[in-house]
Amino acid sequence: MAETTLPAQPVSPVRPVSPVRPVTAAAAMLTDVVGDRADGWDRDGRLPLDLVRGLARDGLLCPEVAAEYGGPGLSAVEAGELTARAGSLCSSLRSLMTSQGMAAWTVRRFGSRAQRAEHLPRLVSGTLAAVAFSEPDAGSDLSAMSTRIEVAGGTATVTGSKKWITGAAYADVLLVFGRYGDGAAAMLVPATAAGVTIDPVPDALGCRAAGHAHVRLDGVRAPADHVLAGTGLPLDWLVTSALTHGRLSVAWGCVGILRGCLGVASRHARTRQQFGKPLAQHQLVGAHLAELLVSEQAATRLCEHASRCWDAGTPELVAAAVAAKHLAAGAAVRGAASAVQILGSAGAVDGHLVARAYRDAKLMEIIEGSNEICRLLLAEHAMAVWS
Amino acid sequence: MSAPVHAPRPDEAVTRDLLAFLQRRTRTQVAADVDLFGSGLVSSMFALELVVHLETAFGVEVCGPDLRLDNFRTVEAMTALVSRLRGGGDG
């Protein structure tokens, strides 16, 4: 028993080697499974379903779902880090995380105890979800939604038309928002139910492999308990809760876009020589890199702040998520444009990381509250808090 | 050994906190029985802030069937909701 005779280890002031944090391991796993394939997925307009389902089975598409439901139970800050990693690799895949995360959060918030116990374990064990808000006549103005959910006897029925639903082409279940009585409700609709038609959006500008689709619901029936229990709130309340989660996710995704661009652009500027010296030594190129760096840091800080508010349950989280999304989306658009500029012809090819970033980032200024809607919300908040 | 005469009932403390939160956030003084939605004081963003505030300030979880407009219509209604969720009400 030689071990027992060893002197006790002195307490080290430096932390000993700690086990790898779950989020670090998950991020490394994402990097590994995506590898160099995102370019091809973008050109094909399709992610491999087995890969997506595998990530869903590991709970990585909605990593905040608590351990009591079989989820990874990451904090909002940790989930943000993971989302940023996905965003740096493939914004299409990250978009699916945003959808699955919103679906899980909405079930968590608006589901009854029984509904949470039934549906959350599914969302972390392979079931793929899409969230259906927008309609042909209800984009930024979601209050114009006309989809109607009705419950009679033990059956819920939903009729309506949804547009540009991220992930719908892959989804097993659609979380459909609609009018319900005088208020609103969200209903879980199996994608295979009779009356569901899913038409993929061809040739999307960005996030081309995110499975965007238009969804028609013609008198689709499901058991009444597929309507989440928190019914009868005003539509904009219900939607704001889900969108706040989505905005934070999109914001972290934009941080990822900036990180991806920063890496590729910096490496290119170091190795590519023109006029007898590396691009980085040309000051106008250096200026692009400097702005990219500051953008990534600013976006990260706002995202961290919003996620910490989320974890601490601070009401400020609502406005902080809008601010983070607004800043990060604009920063990603400008940053991606700079990265394409630095790469020049090397990046001006469909599928290339900076070409994808350029197209994907633009969509981030539109979804989950356009720039304009974000500004309206932030102005309203400014008036409430600062006037 | 009875509680001091001045100690507010738990419900009163909740009501006071909510009135203060509303005043801070909307810059409007409201009475506990004012219909907050009829008054136009509550935007969708602020509504979510209210839910988060209730949860954090009073250690309750407002989920599922408790997310009904009637539970948020007045400060009195929110006070009753908190009381019920804390197990102290007539639930």
In a domain? residue A374: yes
Return d(Cα B47, Cα B31) in angstroms, integer. Answer: 17
B90: confidence class by pLDDT, cuts 50, 70, 90: very low
Residue A131 Cα to chain centre, angstroms: 12
Question: Per residue in A235-263, pLDDT tens?
Answer: 999 999 999 999 999 999 999 999 999 99
A117 and A179 co-located in one domain: no
What integer pLDDT is reported at residue A320 of this predicted model? 98
Closest CA to A168 of A131, A135, A194: A131
Taking the CA of residue A214 and the nearest CA in chain B, the distance in Å comes to 27
Last residue of a domain, one of A226, A260, A284: A226
- In the predicted structure, residue B6 carries a pLDDT above the cut 80: no
DSSP B6: T
What phi, psi does A135 have (nearest 5°)?
A: -135, 170
A180 and A287 co-located in one domain: no
Amino acid, single-letter form, for residue A221:
R
Nearest to B45 among A110, A183, A240 (CB): A240
Tokens of A6: 């060893």
CATH homologous superfamily for the domain B10-85: ACP-like (1.10.1200.10)
Taking the CA of residue A111 and the nearest CA in chain B, the distance in Å comes to 4
User: What is the average pLDDT score of chain A?
Assistant: 95
For A384, nearest residue in chain B (alpha carbons):
B26
In a domain? residue A10: no
What integer pLDDT is reported at residue A17 of this predicted model? 61
In a domain? residue A4: no
A261 and A352 co-located in one domain: yes
In a domain? residue A263: yes
**ipTM value for the complex:** 0.89
In a domain? residue A14: no
- In the predicted structure, residue A14 carries a pLDDT above the cut 70: no
A240 and A381 co-located in one domain: yes
Domain with residue A114: its CATH number is 1.10.540.10
A287 and A219 co-located in one domain: no
- Tell me which chain B residues have a C-beta less than 8 angstroms from the C-beta of A368: none
Amino acid, single-letter form, for residue A307:
S
For B41, nearest residue in chain A (alpha carbons):
A384
- In the predicted structure, residue A10 carries a pLDDT above the cut 90: no
In a domain? residue A13: no
Domain with residue A283: its CATH number is 1.20.140.10
CB contact under 8 A, A313 and B52: yes
- In the predicted structure, residue A2 carries a pLDDT above the cut 50: no
Closest CA to A186 of A243, A256, A265, A250: A243
- The verdict on A308 touching B (C-beta cutoff 8 Å) is no
Residue A136 Cα to chain centre, angstroms: 23
- Tell me which chain B residues have a C-beta less than 8 angstroms from the C-beta of A311: none
Nearest to B25 among A312, A322, A384 (CB): A384
Question: Per residue in A265-294, pLDDT tens?
Answer: 999 999 999 999 999 999 999 999 999 999
CB contact under 8 A, A315 and B49: yes
Return d(Cα A311, Cα A81) in angstroms, integer. Answer: 14
- Tell me which chain B residues have a C-beta less than 8 angstroms from the C-beta of A108: 63
Percent of chain A whose predicted confidence (pLDDT) is above 70: 95
Amino acid, single-letter form, for residue A36:
D
Taking the CA of residue B11 and the nearest CA in chain A, the distance in Å comes to 21
In a domain? residue A363: yes
Domain with residue A150: its CATH number is 2.40.110.10
Delimit the domains of chain B by residue range: 10-85
B4: confidence class by pLDDT, cuts 50, 70, 90: low
What integer pLDDT is reported at residue B88 of this predicted model? 59
CA distances from A286 to A115, A266, A280, B21 (A): 54, 9, 5, 48
Domain total in chain A: 3
Question: Per residue in A152-170, pLDDT tens?
Answer: 999 999 999 999 999 999 9
What integer pLDDT is reported at residue B9 of this predicted model? 76
A97 and A138 co-located in one domain: no
Question: Per residue in A314-358, pLDDT tens?
Answer: 999 999 999 999 999 999 999 999 999 999 999 999 989 999 999
Range of the domain at A57: 23-123
- The verdict on A149 touching B (C-beta cutoff 8 Å) is no
CA distances from A379 to A33, A344, A348, B21 (A): 41, 38, 37, 20
Question: Per residue in B13-64, pLDDT tens?
Answer: 999 999 999 999 888 899 999 999 888 888 889 999 999 999 999 999 999 9
In a domain? residue A257: yes
Torsion A40-A340-A287-A374 (CA) sign: negative
- Tell me which chain A residues have a C-beta less than 8 angstroms from the C-beta of B27: 384, 387
Q: Cβ atoms within 10 A of the Cβ of A32, count? A: 8
A208 and A252 co-located in one domain: no
